[in-house]
Structure 1
Amino acid sequence: MTQGFSREPGTEGPVSGVSSAGARKVHVWALVIALGGFLFGYDTGVVSGALLYIKKDFHLTSLEQSSIVSVLLIGAMLGALGAGRLADRLGRRRTLAIEGLVFIVGTAILVFAAGYAMLLVGRIVLGLAVGAASATVPVYLSEVSPTELRGRFLTLNQLMITIGILISYLVNLAFAGSGLWRGMFAVGAIPALLMVAGTMFLLPESPQWLILRGRADKARQVIESVSTKERADHLIELAQQRRTQRDKEEASRKRNWRILLEPRVRPALIVGLTLAAAQQFSGINTIIYYAPTLMQKTGLSASNSIFYSVAIGVINLIMTIVAIKLVDRVGRRPLLLSSLAGMLVMLVLLGFSYVAGMSSALSLVFMVVYIASFAVGLGPVFWVLVGELFPSSARAAGSGASTAVNWASNFVVSLVFLPLADVIGQGEIFWVFAAVCAFTLWFVGRYVPETREREFNEVDAALRARFGRQAQQAAASG
């Protein structure tokens, strides 16, 4: 999955110093906002069970099945690219409401789809909402979260994505007996409606956006609804100073993409892009998207395949919670290295289980341990590192480039997995993913520094040291 929970150190949102009553109100806001993350997870996971019945109703080839899964990612890339501009122009609250409406429209198209082409259109529309939510939700959460609770609220988005995946598997299971794949998609309209209603009736506009638009009085009202007047005055003053600084930096922002090509930024870019691609080419979304299909190929019925895939959703959720607790205690490198080692071993064994025709129970065990290994390391840690490796002048561009490569890699793997498995074999393709994990394990060991509890200058020095003399000379000349 395309998932993350990082924040830029040293930032302070306008909503801070809240009372206990204010904290409860902000918690409600965070839950409404995080419904976007839930829908992200639900709509990327629900297709795994629906596909078992769609392919029979419409007699789909392997390539057509893959395209129904992967075309959502094209929409997601477009949605992510456009969401930032829309959120800056219309505001975070309105943008989130629009995204909820797009979720509803995409769901309706799928529910009433009469053929393959209409399914593709519905998935593209859902993809627009998924991508836009992936860009908007973390920004909105960071801007309405109290400083002391921001880390918890940002991880709430990650948690809601995994909950959405798990709920999609449970919904698939509920409809498995009847084979009503349209019902599987239709359930997604419920949280989308809640998201629209909650956004319109419960959420305020982001105070930070209001200040940037010159509406300080309205921002003060929002802050005072959860904090004190004195705190509001102080934070308004700070935010207005940031607005002045942002205006000065606006003209140079267009140069940010070019800054990635500078020698001093290149090591961070190499790490960011490599991990972005490796996260997807290690095969994670072949399990998330195709778990029931994979289990069915071991000889299980469609309903039993969906039942066993629920275990994958459960372990994904549990290990995500574990990762959230460990990433600041254990460090990034230990989690990455142990994660990749576990994934490598499980992919090798998973390949053998298909080649040798082992029992479905063994295949399920290997999948579950693989998911656990991914969810505790490579999955979330990649997003943390993207926010920590780049200098501040290149952080937005570096994060954008890494995210774009991640979505693109996700699309490629999702599209070619089933057709390629038909050509080289189900087990053999898992060995290809294992080779990617082996390379990434070496790459992390050689080039990725530890970033926990380090300032950027320390991280940068460690990164340049790992890339050798040329990177250090480039940094010195820069």
Structure 2
Amino acid sequence: MNKKVSPALIYFFGAFGGFMFGYDIGIINGALPGIKATWNVNPWLEGMITSGLFLGAMVGASLMAYLADRFGRRRMIMWSAIVFAIGALGSGFSKSTSLLIAARLILGVAVGGASALVPMYMGEISPAETRGKLSGLNQLMITVGMLIAYGVNYAFVHVFEGWRWMLGGAAVPALVLLFGTFILPESPRFLSRIGKNDEALKVLQALRSPEEAASEYDAIVNAKHSANGTFKDLFGKTALPAVIAGCGLTFLQQVQGANTIFYYSSQILSKVFGSSIGGVISTVGIGIVFVVATAITLLVVDKFKRRTLFMTGSIGMGASLLLVGLIYPAAKANHAWATWTVFLFICIYVIFYAYSWAAATWIVVGELFPSNVRGLATGIASAVNWFGNIVVALFFPVLLETVGLSIIFFGFAAICVIGFLFAKFVLYETKGKSLEEIETYLYNRSIGKAVGLDD
């Protein structure tokens, strides 16, 4: 490991996979109207184009995270960047909806891989006391990627087949990440697991003070490392509580309404504001709110318990969605006060989501799992996340035409109640604990010696 490389640069490129993730989430928002203008796309085909990426992401999250336990986190991040560039260019040059869906499946493999690899990698290279802030860089990168995508959408909205530039442009951040992987160190915990303790110490010395590096190195090498886990180990007494918590978090993150807003806000707000350009411009406003709220979250996330963030976030999100559902009919009837109130409560929803289920989910996913199944379990949790994406993306266009927005928002508000209960009764606290302390807790819990992590 080259000690001349700035730790800040390492953390930046370590989290940059989130930018690719966010860009592709945001870009489809503005690309869909252009795709529909190029081809005759019905609601089901629209859902397939959107959700094709998520099907690929389910495969990519499971596969690349699993391979990361064999070949290392850094190498698989590099391959994610390469596959992402191929899928992005394939999307931009597609000559039919079938080819577009196929290209987005390829793209999804990379996006899913990044969604699993980045939280795992950031969790393993970050110190316990600031892990929330540093791991949260992933979410900040996601929001910045989404905002840039919204800006690209606006820039190309009136260009002939501008959607090709929107989708193909995703190759640019992929190449940036590919360059960045050449300066990234391997995870010290992975290096220790494969017997390269000297290299693990060098990485820690580059990222920590000498005293911190020595202390963390001792904790890593003295931890009880077993062989790489199997699917059977996921259902063992040690790992199962973490797997349930991780999969529950990632699924609930997707089905509490956020992705309906981020994927389809241009369509939703065009109905509210009465024009397509109004929908695109207001979506950029939502993207700005999301970035600012996430940036502020990184400054304070390590001051609050993870479970507190999830519970308060669910309360605020559910209340905001309920009010949007109640007020939307008046907005649809062209009452100006209702139009702006709906937009306001969507922005408030985004603020609550940003500091809780958006940022904290990926922080916690990088913390929850025992080392022997960390890659495998993170991949499964990320695949469940993308399954939730598929459910939302595939069925929202159909539900929008059949039951209407108000009923949809009421349903999401009800799911927020489930999110609150899950965080309160199922999730265990990980704030301020080293990965080795969390693993020790899980082992003690499996033999009946612990009921919870000390606060």
TM-score class, shorter: 0.7 to 0.9
Relative to structure 1, the CA distance from residue 206 to residue 390 in structure 2 (aligned partners, 3 Å threshold; closer, same or farther) is closer
- For 1:309-324, list aligned pairs within 5 A: 309-324=283-298
Could you tell me which of 150, 157, 172 is aligned with 1:190? 172
CA deviations 1:273-328 (Å, max 9, x no partner) are 54443322211101111111111222543333111101111111222233333333
Could you tell me which of 150, 153, 161 is aligned with 1:172? 153
Relative to structure 1, the CA distance from residue 288 to residue 258 in structure 2 (aligned partners, 3 Å threshold; closer, same or farther) is same
Residue 101, structure 1, aligned to residue 119, structure 2: no
Q: Which amino acid aligns with 1:159?
A: L
Relative to structure 1, the CA distance from residue 199 to residue 277 in structure 2 (aligned partners, 3 Å threshold; closer, same or farther) is closer
Could you tell me which of 421, 428, 432 is aligned with 2:411? 432
Could you tell me which of 363, 386, 402 is aligned with 1:407? 386
Residue 353, structure 1, aligned to residue 324, structure 2: no
Relative to structure 1, the CA distance from residue 307 to residue 241 in structure 2 (aligned partners, 3 Å threshold; closer, same or farther) is same
Partner of 2:309: 335
Shift of residue 35, structure 1, vs aligned partner: 2.2
Identical-pair percentage: 35
Residue 250, structure 1, aligned to residue 227, structure 2: yes
Q: Which amino acid aligns with 2:233?
A: N
Residue 368, structure 1, aligned to residue 342, structure 2: no
Between 308-317 and 402-411, the greater mean CA deviation after superposition: 402-411
Which SS does the other structure have where 2:16 is aligned? Answer: helix
Shift of residue 57, structure 1, vs aligned partner: 1.2
Which SS does the other structure have where 2:113 is aligned? Answer: helix
CA deviations 1:334-382 (Å, max 9, x no partner) are 4333322221222122223333324443332221111111112233334
Partner of 2:67: 86
Residue 28, structure 1, aligned to residue 9, structure 2: yes
CA contact (8 A) 2:7 2:206 kept: no
In 2, Cα distance between equivalents of 1:204 and 1:458: 26
Please give the TM-score of this superposition, normalised by the length of structure 1.
Answer: 0.78
CA deviations 1:40-63 (Å, max 9, x no partner) are 111111110111211111121111
Partner of 1:41: 22
Relative to structure 1, the CA distance from residue 74 to residue 229 in structure 2 (aligned partners, 3 Å threshold; closer, same or farther) is same
In 2, Cα distance between equivalents of 1:413 and 1:126: 19
Partner of 2:39: 58
Q: Which amino acid aligns with 2:74?
A: R
Aligned length: 441
Partner of 2:102: 121
CA deviations 1:405-457 (Å, max 9, x no partner) are 33212211111011012111122211111222234345545665666568769
Relative to structure 1, the CA distance from residue 378 to residue 57 in structure 2 (aligned partners, 3 Å threshold; closer, same or farther) is same
Which SS does the other structure have where 1:376 is aligned? Answer: helix
Q: Which amino acid aligns with 1:118?
A: L
In 1, Cα distance between equivalents of 2:194 and 2:135: 24
CA contact (8 A) 1:26 1:144 kept: no
Partner of 1:467: none
Partner of 1:132: 113
In 1, Cα distance between equivalents of 2:353 and 2:391: 19
CA contact (8 A) 2:230 2:373 kept: no
Partner of 1:291: 265
In 2, Cα distance between equivalents of 1:474 and 1:138: 26
Relative to structure 1, the CA distance from residue 397 to residue 295 in structure 2 (aligned partners, 3 Å threshold; closer, same or farther) is same
CA deviations 1:206-254 (Å, max 9, x no partner) are 5554555555676677677778999999988876666xx53xx217655
Partner of 2:251: 277
Structure 2 residue ranges without an equivalent (≥5): none
In 2, Cα distance between equivalents of 1:354 and 1:68: 27
CA contact (8 A) 1:22 1:227 kept: no
Partner of 1:421: 400
CA contact (8 A) 1:389 1:459 kept: no
